[in-house]
Amino acid sequence: MREVVLPLSEPPLVADAGVGVHGVTTLEDVFLLPDLWQLHLYSYEGAVEAGGVVHRIAPGRASLIPPGTEVRYRYRGRSEHLYAHLRLDGSTEHRVAPVMQDAGPNRPLIAGLMRGALAAAPARAAAHLWTVLWQLTDAGPAGREVATDPFAVAAAHIEANLATSLSVAEVAKVAGVSHNHLTRLFRARTGTTVVAHIRRRRVERARHLLTASTLSVTAVAAAVGIPDLQAFNKVCRRELGESPRGVRRWLKAR
């Protein structure tokens, strides 16, 4: 598989967007999303096999994988990329794009739009990623600057770093506000604390990865910043009512 055809007459439905962290526990992963497109912007060296064709991964390259395609990623160590899982339902305005391409001079724009989509409202996230898709098919309008609202900056930083140990002090520093002001912002916007928001987003991403991917439980735990499997199991049981494998079986059976 070297090219794909994307229906772009309608904005995408964003199932999930974030920063993928792989190559920590294994140097190879198999990923399959039956109903969703995979959009990746890479910052590491490696390889991915899709549809029997092996593509080189390098910083600044972007890939578009259609639904139902089994992809095999090969890493050389800790590997990070921006990703979005999308549903494209447009029936017209079909555009052809390479499975793998160099984003070239558009890399900063695409990275900014993808990061801006991490914590944006659904409609804004869809607009950001729709622009990215048009850019990758060489037909899109220029993107706009990512919002610099402190809450948006903080929320985007959290989304981009769920795989790491996050502290409120760190998030406040990135957002350029005090610890107390950040807490007030999150209570006003989300009705909860910064810590509770981080915990909720980790659980939501874990649920998505457990049910929409073939990543191992160990890899999912690492991707959401809870690499201790015993702790991850406790979190899933407390927040989702099942063990990680139970969540995967129960939700896929529905």
pTM over 0.85: no
Give the residue-averaged pLDDT of 34-48: 93
Cα distance between residue 192 and residue 39, in whole Å: 31
205 and 16 Cβ atoms separated by less than 8 Å: yes
Please give the helix or strand (H or E) that residue 221 lies within, else none. helix 217-223
Cα distance between residue 176 and residue 92, in whole Å: 44
**Segment 133-184, tens digit of pLDDT:** 988 886 333 333 334 578 878 887 888 778 888 899 999 998 899 999 999 9
User: What's the fold here for domain 3-106+117-136?
Assistant: Jelly Rolls (2.60.120)
- The domain spans of the chain are 3-106+117-136, 150-253
**Segment 97-115, tens digit of pLDDT:** 899 999 888 888 899 899 8
Three-state secondary structure readout of 24-90: CCCCEEEECCCCCEEEEEECCCEEEEECCEEEEECCCEEEEECCCCCEEEECCCCEEEEEEEEECCC
Q: CATH number of the domain at 150-253, please?
A: 1.10.10.60
Contacts for 41 with CB less than 8 Å, ≥ 6 apart: 60, 61, 62, 81, 82, 83, 103, 107, 110, 111, 114
Cα dist from 66 to 32, 155, 165, whole Å: 10, 28, 32
